[in-house]
Structure 1
């Protein structure tokens, strides 16, 4: 069972691994990222951040979807991490579960604007997030569990790209 999908372009790092472990009590992490799945050095770095006793899988979007549909995972609490809204959108097209999506970390890049602390977005990101919301997915904006959660729609109304 997927307990949450997080959007974080850094994927797995200490802050995500440990603060969300306490909040979600997950048993496994699935990184759904085409680029990370094909980068052996990045996979090695991600594995170093995984908490002890937690299963970790780093897969392409399509392979992550196949894994998430495996009945063996239905009894586990799975935390899914994707690098961007497009990846989440694509993943959700391939699975039936509809967990909440946590928008937590997207770094500043050219043509991106500040959406909330630690989250910078461009027009494409907003379009994919809007599609998620339109399909009934709850999008929560929260950097870490100790910070207050904000609803995507309330922040979305304050931004124009």
Structure 2
């Protein structure tokens, strides 16, 4: 696993162009129940993904199961989630994560800014706390050239 990222836009320029190529990714796995069950969204994701990369759009539990079972062999995997709740569900389904990078979470009513590209709701803060409490390093980094910051520390400093 070369990267685990939360990005509500899923596959877009930063993910497809910058992250995937700089990490020499071979397969992008989008773990999101809604995307996995929506043929239109799956089709859009396939169009957005680089043609040189394999793409799997899977329900969260199936993504965890496939990765744990070694289904992708030695492929370099980029795991992509839409929100922190999906990450927590992946971990609870036995999915292996050491670090999760928070990329883009846009403003929603009632959200507060943690960084320019990350706005979190109160309930998402507690989900991030739950993720971190499982020993997972939570970082924020927009693009690979930016330094990774300690997202939990940054989130707490804004209270």
| 1:38 alignment partner in structure 2 | 37
Q: Partner of 2:157: helix, strand, or coil? A: coil
- Would you say the 8 A contact 1:4–1:99 is kept in 2? no
Name the CA distance, whole Å, in 2 between partners of 1:4 and 1:21. Answer: 9
| 1:71 alignment partner in structure 2 | 70
How does the TM-score come out when normalised to structure 2?
Answer: 0.93
Q: How far did residue 88 of structure 1 move?
A: 0.3
Residue pairs, 1:5-84, within 5 angstroms: 5-84=4-83
Moved over 3 A (4+): none
Q: Partner of 1:19: helix, strand, or coil? A: helix
Q: How many pairs are equivalent? A: 159
Q: How far did residue 15 of structure 1 move?
A: 1.6
Q: Partner of 1:73: helix, strand, or coil? A: coil
Residue segments in structure 2 that go unaligned for 5+ positions in a row: none
Q: Partner of 1:157: helix, strand, or coil? A: helix
Which sits farther off after the overlay, 151-160 or 135-144?
151-160
- Would you say the 8 A contact 2:68–2:94 is kept in 1? yes
Kindly provide the CA deviation profile for residues 12-55 of structure 1, in whole angstroms up to 9, marking residues without a partner as x. 11221111113311110110001111111111111111112211
- Would you say the 8 A contact 1:7–1:102 is kept in 2? yes
Residue pairs, 1:107-146, within 5 angstroms: 107-146=106-145
| 1:156 alignment partner in structure 2 | 155
Q: How far did residue 110 of structure 1 move?
A: 0.7
| 1:94 alignment partner in structure 2 | 93
Residue segments in structure 1 that go unaligned for 5+ positions in a row: none
What root-mean-square deviation, in Å, do the aligned CA atoms of Structure 1 and Structure 2 show? 1.4
Kindly provide the CA deviation profile for residues 124-152 of structure 1, in whole angstroms up to 9, marking residues without a partner as x. 11111111111110111011112222111
Q: Partner of 1:71: helix, strand, or coil? A: coil
